[in-house]
Amino acid sequence: MNMHTRLPRALPPAARHYSSSPHFTEVTVPEKLTSLHRTKPGVWGRLVVEQGTLRFLEPGPPERDEAVSEGEEIIIAPELPHRVSITGPVYFLIEFYRE
């Protein structure tokens, strides 16, 4: 499976949580997250939306544009190019895992 073209639906079984971002809102989200960026080699991300909605974008191919709403999450594979787009009020964080 090419990790750059398909988002995984779950963390690998051996992945262990090691860090979390602060909670972000539509006002406090860092520019880095709204610009194209990647996780480091071997680092998985778990984007968790606690209130509101944002968009998760992956340039592809194929391009992916997915709304992530309250109570939903996105698993981000290591080195996957991506960004978020803020569409309104939102409250979210990112958890980081290593295998």
Delineate the domains of the chain, giving CATH numbers in brackets: 16-98 (2.60.120.10)
| Nearest residue to 43 via CA among 10, 77, 4, 12 | 77
| Nearest residue to 68 via CA among 88, 98, 40, 96 | 88
- pLDDT, residue 52, reads 98
- pLDDT, residue 20, reads 98
Q: What letter represents residue 67's amino acid?
A: A
- pLDDT, residue 5, reads 42
Full-model pTM = 0.88
Backbone angles phi, psi at 89, to 5 degrees: -60, 135
Please list the residues that pair with 49 across neighbouring strands: 92
- pLDDT, residue 7, reads 62
Report the alpha-carbon distance of residue 15 to residue 84 in Å, rounded: 23
- pLDDT, residue 57, reads 96
- pLDDT, residue 2, reads 36
- pLDDT, residue 60, reads 77
- pLDDT, residue 62, reads 82
**Number of other residues whose CB lies within 10 A of the CB of residue 19:** 10
Per run of 10 residues, the mean pLDDT along the chain (length 99 residues) is: 55 96 98 96 97 94 91 94 97 97
